[in-house]
Amino acid sequence: MKTEVANVSEVERRVKVELDAALVAGAIDKAYNNLKKKVRLPGFRPGKAPLSILQKHFKAQIEDEVINELVQQSFPEAMEKENIKPVSMPKVENGVLEKGKDFSYTVAVEIKPEIDVKDYTGLKIERLSADATDEDIAEEIERYRSAYAETKEISGRAAQMDDSVTFDMEGFIGEEPYLGGKKTDFFLELGKNMLLPGFDEQVVGLSAGDTKKFSLDIAADYGDEQVAGTTIDFTVEIKTIKEKILPELNDEFAKDVGEYKGLDDLRAAVSTSISERKKKTAESKLREQIFAALIEKNPFPVPKGMVDMQAQGMVRDMQRMFQQQGLDINALGQDPAQLLEHYREPAERQVRAALILDALAEKENITAADEDFEKLYDELAAQYNESTETLKKNIDKDRLTPQIMERKVIDFILSTAEITETQTPA
């Protein structure tokens, strides 16, 4: 086998592979011999059809089979010989197969760029505090109170924020009915902005039995493209108003919420929950800052195939998420090509970050040790309520290596970084 490599770019190679005529002839003969044993042709006993007849009927099929076999067998050897490690699907251009002559093909492959990572020490990083503040705890408990609140129909006063109202509603965008036409007994919790921006404010101040006509100008950048930039004319007739009666904040309330001994126990549990959420948010923001800094300081070409594969994986993840929720991804109004294009930019950022981390790990000789795997297996066991041994049987170490390496490289970067602690909402 002969190989010849052409450098197309920093991340692309074209490799010409030439196979000896004797190897080609042997592969062709073997293919026809196998065919002869299996094929059934009128007028010939099994295995006795002459080669000329087989060639007449099956030449194209045999050529495709032989070419595929030759490429599959020789491609890994050619890559090893030239010390090339493809990072995406290769593109093969086949030559002409002819017995008695050498066979050659050309394959275009993408490789990792060579990255000499710079400026990764002394990064200025903001770490968001994971502490649960008194304000965080109070807001969370108020959400519990709101969830456990009772409602009571009222009369004698107008609707206020936090009230729940039912009403009949009709809206028009020009001559077109909004939401398909008139709605009866429409329910709305005021102050939640559940319908449209500014709608709640128009209802506040109305009493049961009141009718009001008003118009809302919808911003051009509003998320719903069907109404963005339009004016909607509404008529609403208030039917009922219910006020929310919050439970008293005491030990009995805490026991109603869950298995808590009292209010102090509830506050402690809420504090722990908030801290865990804030810790996850802080870790995510920390990674984003590190990746953004490294990407800015280390420009390099990215293999397009790696970006494509990452984007495709992100689309598949979204499809699975929709399916788990019983939803149809087509409801987004985007075809697969549009979704793929939507994810291409974040996919490229992820690929860049991963390549930089790999290069940095190699430069600093950072490796995954046995104790790193043990720690992660234990964490996953606690997360999924499984035994560590069960996870070891079901999850191969190779699948955990990228996660471990990312952690270790980030820890290395943080060990030299200038870190400032800041607060963040829960």
Specify the CATH number for the domain of residue 389. 1.10.3120.10
Which CATH number goes with the domain that contains 96? 3.30.70.1050
Backbone torsion region of residue 132, taken as left when φ is above 0, otherwise alpha when ψ lies between -120 and 50, otherwise beta: beta
| 311 within a domain of the structure (yes/no) | yes
Q: Is residue 117 part of a domain?
A: no
292 found inside a domain: yes
Q: Are residues 8 and 78 in the same domain?
A: yes
Number of structural domains the chain divides into: 3
CATH number of the CATH domain containing 229: 3.10.50.40
Which tens digit of pLDDT belongs to each residue from 385-417?
999 999 999 999 999 999 999 999 999 999 999
The answer to whether residues 39 and 175 belong to one domain is no
Residue 129 lies in a domain: no
Whether 280 and 403 share a structural domain: yes
63 and 9 assigned to the same domain? yes
280 and 342 belong to one structural domain = yes
- Report yes or no: 135 and 426 within 8 Å, Cβ to Cβ: no
- The Cα 47–Cα 36 span in angstroms is 5
- Is 131 a member of any domain? no
pLDDT tens series, the chain, 426 aa: 999 999 999 999 999 999 999 999 999 989 888 887 877 777 777 777 777 878 888 888 989 999 999 999 999 999 999 999 999 999 999 888 888 899 999 999 999 999 999 999 999 999 999 999 999 999 999 999 988 999 899 988 999 999 999 999 999 999 899 988 899 999 999 998 888 999 999 999 999 999 999 999 999 989 888 889 999 999 999 999 999 999 999 999 999 998 899 999 999 999 999 999 999 999 999 999 999 999 999 999 999 999 999 999 998 888 888 788 777 766 656 677 888 888 999 999 999 999 999 999 999 999 999 999 999 999 999 988 999 999 999 999 999 999 999 999 999 999 999 999 887 544
- Going by DSSP bridges, is the β-strand pair 124-128/418-422 parallel, antiparallel, or unpaired? parallel
Based on the domain organization, do 87 and 173 belong to the same domain?
no
Same domain membership, residue 284 and residue 199: no
Please indicate, yes or no, whether residues 281 and 357 belong to a single structural domain of this protein. yes
174-215 pLDDT, tens digit each: 989 998 889 999 999 999 888 899 999 999 999 999 999 999
In a domain, 294, yes or no: yes
Domain limits at 165? 150-245
Evaluate whether residue 365 is within a structural domain: yes
Report the C-alpha gap between 218 and 198 in whole angstroms: 9
My answer on whether 74 and 194 are in the same domain is: no
Please report the pLDDT score of residue 333 as a whole number.
61
List C-alpha distances in Å: 87 to 8, 71, 191, 249, 308: 15, 18, 52, 59, 11
Look at residue 289 and tell me if it is in a domain.
yes
Do 418 and 292 lie in one domain? The reply is yes
**Residues 8 and 46 grouped into a single domain:** yes
Could you tell me what percent of the chain has a pLDDT over 70? 97
Strands (E), 376-423: 418-422
Q: pLDDT (tens digit, 9 = 90+) per residue, 374-386?
A: 999 999 999 889 9
